[in-house]
Structure 1
């Protein structure tokens, strides 16, 4: 699953490594937006964002219901500085992918994420970055 690296200004790359919370937007089956705060990681080299969550969470169910066309957005903001990552999302419980998501989360937030028995990772193939600096 190879993707082109997104061109981001260095300041945006650094901003997206700060241990911040983002708003994660998915679409419910009826088309209305569901917005929830999340912690996430962004691998700029692979253009891949990751959100760990429970399989039964509304966000995971929304992504799964959207199938391969499921589009989502993550928006990290601090004051008037912000960056939004958009792309197609999938949900997986693959052990290797979960381990990578947990490793990256732990490095970014300096603490391991919660690990409920039904832990999954939402992987977002980021194809658009919106930011006043990009």
Structure 2
């Protein structure tokens, strides 16, 4: 496990979009843009999704993932992470998506209907570039 360097923690305080790469059942890459968060105490990247989405199904079957993000204020400043999904948790996921909505949309609650249930994908960084 490798922590995210302190000088990059600001990326998780502003609306930084990340791209998460997972592998499908037939080994094809699946890349999707996501809102990203970081738990500095646990040293885990957090992605909030809905149960049944492709990235959630892929991570459940094969936990190896890649994540990249670019500073919205400086496109030449980026962070790239290779890691493993350690947990897919529903506990606290609804509150977490509301918290992310404040950062990304400047609204109190996530405005889209939840069709199944929210899931937090907890990613352990193994390599950070």
Q: What TM-score do you get using the length of structure 1 for normalisation?
A: 0.74
Whole-angstrom CA distance in 2 between matches of 1:7 and 1:40: 13
**Offset of residue 85 of structure 1:** 3.0
Given that 1:86 and 1:128 are in contact with CA atoms closer than 8 Å, whether structure 2 keeps it comes out as yes
Counterparts of 2:103 and 2:15 in 1: how far apart (Å)?
Answer: 6
Poorly superposed stretches of 4+, deviation over 6 Å: none
Give the whole-Å Cα distance in 2 for the aligned partners of 1:42 and 1:50: 6
For 2:61, the equivalent position in structure 1 comes to 65
Give 1:101's match in structure 2, choosing from 90, 96, 108.
96
Structure with greater proportional strand content:
2
Structure 1 unaligned segments of length 5 or more: list them: none
Q: Which blocks of at least 5 consecutive residues in structure 2 are unaligned?
A: none
1:8 aligns with 2:5: yes
CA contact (8 A) 2:4 2:128 kept: no
Distance, in Å, in 2 between the alignment partners of 1:37 and 1:87 is: 17
Q: Which moved more, 1:57-66 or 1:119-128?
A: 119-128
The match for 2:123 among 119, 122, 125 is 125
* Number of matched pairs: 122
Which stretch shows the higher mean deviation, 122-131 or 11-20? 122-131
Query: Aligned pair in 2 of structure 1 residues 122, 86: CA closer, same or farther (>3 Å)?
Result: farther
On the 8 A contact 1:6/1:45 being kept in 2, the answer is no
* Aligned partner of residue 80 in structure 1, secondary structure: strand
Question: In structure 2, the residue corresponding to 1:53 is in which secondary structure?
Answer: strand
Q: Deviation of residue 24 (structure 1)? A: 0.8
- How far off is 1:115 after superposition? 4.5
User: How has the CA–CA distance of structure 1 residues 7 and 57 changed in structure 2, closer, same or farther, with 3 Å as cutoff?
Assistant: closer
Given that 1:91 and 1:123 are in contact with CA atoms closer than 8 Å, whether structure 2 keeps it comes out as yes
